[in-house]
């Protein structure tokens, strides 16, 4: 059999080579993720006991850290989601003008700001307000300040994802709604927004996941606390902070606990990602 290295054969080999290269790249990209999950699971699993969740960090558990993280992201979501989504609506629907362009620019810039800078911002804001006597000085290190910082991170993020989501809705949908004599705001809220709801929800969930894992801003805002949550005006513990403290401390039992906390945090993030997929799946099935 003669081996004809003609154009067709060359093309096939090239095709195969590209396929293999792409596949290997994917594998390469997934290795860190896989190894992370692997390590976290293997090392962290040992710490997962019921008491791990019920004890405070003072006693080697992470109960208050989980509580703190949940409270932080819940409060942040309550503030950041409406503001972010409405901003996204503004940018997508009303923002095709110089003002909109400026807003979009600022929002983009804000998504890029390093989170520690946001932390400093929130910290100094409350510091100044405290010095001016407008708010209680204690607020400097409290849940409130932490929420301010996390909101500042989450709002631009959600605004951008919401804007992208709304842009996915074809112009014809908007036009048809308007052509029926529906006022614009109602067309947006009752037709356009529902059409893009899965994308908006995904954006929101991703935003939550993002702030849930933020550490730097929390370091100088809600600081940390060995106790169960004590109030908006009190320092607050959080999972990222706990991991930081446990891992760097001298106590090896706590080092181990840090892995457990990491595992919990990773599982939470994974959980949110899964939930958002399920939501999308459910919504498209119902059509």
Partner 1 sequence: MAAKIRTEKVSAWYGPKKAIEDITLDFEEHAVSAIIGPSGCGKSTLIRCLNRMHETIPKARVEGRVLLSGEDIYGFPAVTVRRRIGMVFQKANPFPTMSIYENVAAGLRLNGERNRDRLDTAVLESLKQAALWDEVKDSLEKSGASLSGGQQQRLCIARALAVRPEVVLMDEPCAALDPIATAKIEDLIFDLKKDYTVVIVTHNMQQAARVAETTAFMYLGHLIEVGPTRELFERPKETLTESYITGRFG
Query: Cα 28 to the chain's mean position, in Å?
Result: 24
Q: Near partner 1 by CB under 8 A, which window of 172-180, 207-215, 240-248, 249-257?
A: 172-180
Does 183 contact partner 1 by CB under 8 A?
yes
Residue selected from 34, 170, 226, 231 as contacting partner 1 according to rule CB under 8 A: 170
Instruction: Tell me how far, at minimum, the Cβ of 99 lies from partner 1, in Å.
Output: 12
Residue 286, CB half-sphere, CA atoms under 13 Å: how many? Answer: 8
Token pair of 270 as six digits: 């994974």
Q: Using CA atoms, how far apart are residues 60 and 239, in angstroms rounded to an integer?
A: 13
The DSSP symbol for 189 reads I
Instruction: Tell me how far, at minimum, the Cβ of 286 lies from partner 1, in Å.
Output: 9
Instruction: Tell me how far, at minimum, the Cβ of 104 lies from partner 1, in Å.
Output: 15
Residue selected from 33, 172, 250, 252 as contacting partner 1 according to rule CB under 8 A: 172
> What is the per-residue binding string for partner 1 in 74-113, x denoting contact by CB under 8 A?
----------------------xx----------------
Does 231 contact partner 1 by CB under 8 A?
no
Residue nearer to partner 1 on the CB measure, 46 or 190: 190
Residue 223 burial (10 A CB sphere; 0-12, 13-18, 19+): buried
Radius of gyration of the chain (CA): 24
Dihedral sign from CA coordinates of 94, 97, 102, 104? positive
Q: What are phi and psi of 226, to 5 degrees?
A: -85, 0
Residue with tokens 């929002």: 107
CA distances in angstroms from 71 to 74, 143, 239, 248, 262, listed in the order given: 5, 9, 11, 25, 18
Q: What percent of the residues of the chain are helix, what percent strand, and what percent coil, each to the nearest 5?
A: 80, 0, 20
Instruction: Tell me how far, at minimum, the Cβ of 192 lies from partner 1, in Å.
Output: 9
- Chain positions 14 to 43 lying near partner 1, rule: CB under 8 A, are none
Cα angle: 55, vertex 59, 61; to 5 degrees: 45
Instruction: Tell me how far, at minimum, the Cβ of 258 lies from partner 1, in Å.
Output: 45
Q: Near partner 1 by CB under 8 A, which window of 70-78, 111-119, 178-186, 229-237?
A: 178-186
Residue nearer to partner 1 on the CB measure, 75 or 193: 193
Does 201 contact partner 1 by CB under 8 A?
no
Instruction: Tell me how far, at minimum, the Cβ of 183 lies from partner 1, in Å.
Output: 5
Residue nearer to partner 1 on the CB measure, 16 or 282: 282
Does 202 contact partner 1 by CB under 8 A?
no
Residue nearer to partner 1 on the CB measure, 34 or 194: 194
Residue with tokens 């994917």: 26
The residues binding partner 1 (CB under 8 A) are 96-97, 170, 172-173, 175-183, 186-187, 190-191, 194-195, 197, 287
């Amino acid at each position: 059999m003669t081996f004809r290295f003609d154009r067709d054969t060359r093309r096939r080999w090239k095709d195969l080579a590209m396929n293999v290269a792409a596949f290997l790249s994917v594998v390469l990209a997934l290795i860190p993720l896989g190894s992370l999950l692997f390590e976290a699971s293997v090392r962290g699993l040992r710490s997962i006991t019921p008491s791990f969740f019920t004890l405070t960090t003072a006693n080697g558990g992470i109960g208050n850290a989980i509580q703190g993280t949940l409270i932080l992201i819940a409060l942040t979501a309550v503030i950041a989601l409406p503001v972010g989504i409405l901003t996204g609506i503004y940018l997508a629907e009303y923002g095709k003008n110089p003002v909109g362009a400026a807003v979009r620019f600022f929002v983009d810039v804000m998504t890029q700001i390093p989170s520690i800078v946001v932390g400093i911002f929130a910290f100094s804001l409350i510091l100044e307000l405290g010095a001016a006597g407008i708010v209680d000085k204690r607020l400097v290190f409290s849940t409130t300040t932490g929420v301010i910082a996390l909101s500042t991170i989450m709002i631009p993020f959600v605004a951008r994802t919401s804007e992208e989501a709304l842009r996915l809705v074809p112009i014809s949908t908007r036009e048809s709604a308007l052509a029926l004599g529906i006022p614009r705001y109602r067309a947006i809220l009752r037709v356009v927004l529902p059409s893009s709801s899965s994308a908006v929800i995904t954006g929101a969930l991703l935003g939550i996941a993002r702030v849930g894992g933020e550490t730097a801003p929390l370091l100088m805002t809600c600081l940390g606390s060995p106790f169960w949550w004590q109030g908006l005006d009190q320092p607050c513990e959080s999972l990222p902070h706990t991991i930081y403290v446990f891992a760097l401390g001298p106590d090896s039992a706590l080092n181990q606990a840090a892995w457990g906390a990491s595992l919990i945090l990773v599982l939470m993030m994974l959980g949110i990602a899964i939930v958002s997929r399920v939501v999308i799946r459910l919504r498209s099935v119902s059509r």
